[in-house]
Amino acid sequence: MGGEARGLDGGKWVKGRKRFILVDTLGLLLAVKVVAANTAEKTGAQALLNKIWATYWLKELCGRIELVWVDAGYQGDELYDWVARLTGWLWQVVKRSDDKKGFVLLPRRWVVERSFAWLSFNRRLGKDYEKLTRNSESAIYVSMLPMMLRRLN
């Protein structure tokens, strides 16, 4: 399958694309960025934030954010400083305990995982049929609309 921005994630051996999303505390989608699967977590986060700050309506939507919880893949002083300079957000890493092995439900991290699970209910997103990443991002926005409208009601 051709198209732009495809790669192989060496850690999970997944071909295709990664989806980076920004959600609020209710799990409502604020922004999405689709990149090649071989993109590092920090690079994907930077791509998402650059997209937000370059798009007027996303910048307005996300302009009041003060604190962002992220998982350990996004830690590091360089990224923390970059985010603070660009957005003014406090970047807080949610770390898992070293005591526990296997799957551990992390506080606040589950909100994003739940949002990804909601995306998996949409048949169109089960496989990436889109040639362009912006079309893939649009499909994600459209698939989240019914769920977001139900949750806001």
pLDDT score for 8: 52
DSSP state of 68: E
Q: Where are the domains of the chain?
A: 7-140
The answer to whether the beta carbons of residues 106 and 94 sit under 8 Å apart is yes
pLDDT score for 77: 92
The dihedral sign for the CA sequence 82, 62, 5, 113: positive
pLDDT score for 20: 93
pLDDT score for 49: 95
Beta bridge partners of 21: 32
Q: Which CATH architecture has domain 7-140?
A: 2-Layer Sandwich (3.30)
pLDDT in tens, 55-65: 999 999 998 89
Q: What angle do CA 130, 135, 109 make, to 5 degrees?
A: 95
Q: Count Cα atoms within 13 angstroms, Cβ side, for 28.
A: 12
Q: Is 112 helix (H, G, I), strand (E, B) or coil?
A: helix
Tell me how far apart the alpha carbons of residues 145 and 151 are, in angstroms, rounded to a whole number: 10
pLDDT under 50: residue ranges of the chain? 1
For residue 26, report the phi and psi dihedrals to the nearest 5 degrees.
-90, -10
pLDDT score for 6: 57
pLDDT score for 66: 92
